């Protein structure tokens, strides 16, 4: 993706985040890597639902601003830069505050139940990083351990960070993480669940492999093999 395309793609992704209610006020930030050492990122202090391509900031991975855009990058860009430095395969990073996943981040509860096949295909386990004071280098340090082996991380008492091989994937992962959190909450409320077995989890990991996707940490399967037939009443 070149710079012009990246600027427009970020505007479009911001509209999705805003319409989904994943950001309020000036929450969130989005970036795209356009060369090994250069990214385009949202400026500080703007609603992600009301951006235009000219606002974007261009900077290098050392944090030096190449083109200032509207008013310079968010202080949260440090997280983005760290993701790109830790994992060269990443070309897009999305940060937002979706209500359900952020609530799990506040509870300190990772999304790690083997209950939702689509979530396991797209994001696997979503861990919770330790709390870090906004704007400090502790924020990038808190997420760094997860960038290679996971698809997303929840930030304690803050929000969610996702990344991907392109912006479409990073954005999809944000939506899947939020859906995983919602479904987990509802399953907890129902008070009963039929999780997938380890064999079934391995099968989903195999699908990822066949799709040419890099391995991610998957939820542990339930010890008991459950295939659904065991709950159908046997005939008369
Ligand atoms: Zn934030």
Which pLDDT tens digit goes with each residue over 142-169? Answer: 999 999 999 999 999 999 999 999 999 9
Under DSSP, is residue 78 helix (H, G, I), strand (E, B) or coil?
Answer: helix
Spacing, Cα 227 to ligand 1 middle (Å): 40
* 15 CA → ligand 1 middle, Å: 17
Distance 158 CA to ligand 1 centre (A): 6
Quote the ligand 1 centre to 74 CA distance (angstroms). 10
pLDDT of residue 76: 92
Rounded-to-integer distance, Cα 100 and Cα 89, Å: 28
Ligand 1 centre to CA of 134 (Å) is 8
Mean pLDDT computed over 89-112: 98
- Going from the Cα of 98 to the center of ligand 1, the distance in angstroms, rounded, reads 10
The answer to whether residues 121 and 200 touch, using CB atoms and an 8 Å cutoff, is no
d(CA 70, CA 118) in angstroms, rounded, equals 38
Residue corresponding to tokens 């949202």: 42
> Which residue has 């990991």 as its token pair?
205
Distance 79 CA to ligand 1 centre (A): 10
- Residues 6 or more apart whose CB falls under 8 angstroms from that of 211 comprise none
Mean pLDDT, the chain, as a whole number? 93
pLDDT over threshold 90, residue 29: yes
**Residue 54 CB neighbours (<10 A):** 9
| Secondary structure class of 145 (helix, strand, coil) | helix
Indicate if the pLDDT at residue 229 is higher than 70: no
Q: In angstroms, rounded to a whole number, what is the distance separating the alpha carbons of residues 27 and 23?
A: 5
| pLDDT at residue 154, rounded to an integer | 98
Q: Which residues surround ligand 1, an ion (CB under 5 A)?
A: 159
**Confidence bin at 69 (pLDDT 50/70/90):** confident
Domains and CATH numbers, the chain: 3-210 (3.40.225.10)
Distance 18 CA to ligand 1 centre (A): 14
Question: What pLDDT is stored for residue 224 in this prediction?
Answer: 60
C-alpha 28 to ligand 1 mean position (Å): 5
Residue 177's nearest CA partner among 221, 234, 111, 132 is 111
């Amino acid at each position: 993706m070149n710079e012009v395309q990246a600027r427009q793609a970020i505007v479009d992704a911001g509209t999705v985040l805003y319409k989904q209610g994943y950001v309020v006020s000036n929450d969130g930030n989005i970036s795209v890597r356009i060369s090994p050492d250069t990214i385009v990122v949202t400026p500080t202090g703007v609603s992600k639902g009301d951006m235009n391509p000219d606002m974007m900031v261009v900077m290098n991975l050392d944090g030096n601003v190449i083109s200032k855009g509207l008013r310079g990058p968010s202080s949260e860009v440090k997280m983005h830069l760290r993701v790109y430095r830790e994992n060269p395969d990443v070309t897009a990073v999305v940060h937002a505050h979706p209500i359900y996943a952020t609530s799990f981040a506040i509870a300190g509860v990772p999304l790690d139940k083997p209950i939702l096949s689509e979530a396991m295909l797209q994001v696997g386990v979503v861990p919770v990083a330790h709390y870090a004071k906004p704007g400090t280098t502790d924020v990038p340090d808190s997420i760094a351990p997860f960038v290679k082996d996971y698809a997303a991380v929840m930030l304690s008492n803050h929000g969610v960070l996702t990344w991907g091989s392109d912006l479409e994937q990073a954005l999809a992962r944000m939506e899947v993480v939020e859906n995983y959190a919602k479904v987990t909450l509802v399953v907890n409320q129902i008070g009963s669940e039929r999780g997938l077995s380890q064999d079934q989890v391995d099968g989903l990991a195999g699908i990822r492999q066949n799709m040419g996707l890099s391995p991610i940490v998957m939820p542990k399967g339930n010890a008991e093999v459950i295939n659904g037939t065991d709950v159908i009443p046997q005939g008369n």
